[in-house]
Amino acid sequence: MRVRRGPGNPEGVPRWIGSLAIDRTRPVPPARCSIDNEYYEGMDELWWDPAGPAAILHAINRPRVDFYLQALGDLRGRLVLDAGCGGGLVARELAAAGAEVVGVDRSLGSLGVARRAVGPPFRFRPAQGRLERLPFAGGSFDAVVAADVLEHLPDLPAAVAELARVLAPGGSFVFDTVNRTSWSWFTAVFGLEQVLRMVPRGTHDWRLFIRPAELDRLLRGTGLEPVTLTGLAPRIGPGVVVRGLLTRRIDVPTFAAGNGRRASYLGHYRKAPA
């Protein structure tokens, strides 16, 4: 697949993709996207199977949690919202670092898994809700974490506004998400879903992936300012990825934070003090 880069195409997006009018600073109408957020309800204990449908989440968990903990500092006694907590992979690490964690998710099944995984002696409270309309008062949390969830939300502006609303002045917002590039389509959608079947089809919709500039615009619009942004990428070269797709066989790679943002990236923003 030959892709031309240039001033109007800095990401090197294929023409058929670039022709799609996508602006994630606006809500994406349901008719213009297709994503299955319901299958999480049936994952149950598979959330914690490193060889199961959450294998990639397990692979990225250590580097992203390390990034979160470094950004957030001492969490002892602090109230942290894990937005879209799923089965508790990130919540457990935050709680182990001393935070009191509130995990919000639309899936009751996932919340049940998280409650069992992040039980005593850790402090964890599950809450059912949607990120577009959070059931919390403004300024409730010392920090907000959004791990692998923003790219699943058609109404990203509403979710970002809510996440900023519940964050206390001076608090930090940290996240990981997927960039909207030709490489992310090739690896995350075509590769992981359609060829390797490492995640169920419909888990992602490339049109919901988020370019850093789009997310930056939304976050700044809610009063959050950037602290740092870095890439999140597998420790394998593009050639290994391509050969793995051709042979339909590839081991789950290890991931590391770094400069490459063409697939996924991590960010830290901060709300201004009162």
Percent of the chain with pLDDT over 70: 89
Percent of the chain with pLDDT over 90: 65
Q: What angle do CA 233, 239, 244 make, to 5 degrees?
A: 90
For β-strands 141-147 and 79-83, DSSP reports them as parallel
Could you read off the pLDDT of 222-255 as tens digits, one per residue?
999 999 999 998 877 667 667 777 777 777 778 8
Could you read off the pLDDT of 44-54 as tens digits, one per residue?
889 999 988 88
As for how many domains the chain has, the answer is 1
Could you read off the pLDDT of 109-151 as tens digits, one per residue?
999 999 999 989 999 999 999 999 999 999 999 999 999 999 9
At 28, list the tokens.
């994406």
Scan for tokens 């991931």, then name that residue.
255
> Distance (Å, rounded) from C-alpha 35 to C-alpha 202?
5
- Name the β-bridge partners of 9: 6
| Domain, as residue range, for 171 | 33-271
For β-strands 264-271 and 224-234, DSSP reports them as antiparallel
Scan for tokens 């300012």, then name that residue.
225
> Does residue 15 sit within a domain?
no
Q: List the CATH number of the domain containing 238.
A: 3.40.50.150
> Does residue 22 sit within a domain?
no
pLDDT band at 38 (very low <50, low <70, confident <90, very high): confident
| pLDDT at 164 > cutoff 50 | yes
> Does residue 8 sit within a domain?
no
pLDDT band at 16 (very low <50, low <70, confident <90, very high): very low
> Does residue 183 sit within a domain?
yes
> Does residue 14 sit within a domain?
no
At 17, list the tokens.
């993709």
Q: Is the pTM value of this prediction over 0.75?
A: yes
| pLDDT at 20 > cutoff 70 | no
What pLDDT, on the 0 to 100 scale, is given for residue 92? 98
What pLDDT, on the 0 to 100 scale, is given for residue 7? 41
Q: What is the DSSP letter of 117?
A: H
Peptide bond into 121 cis (omega under 30): yes
> Distance (Å, rounded) from C-alpha 240 to C-alpha 107?
35
> Distance (Å, rounded) from C-alpha 262 to C-alpha 123?
36
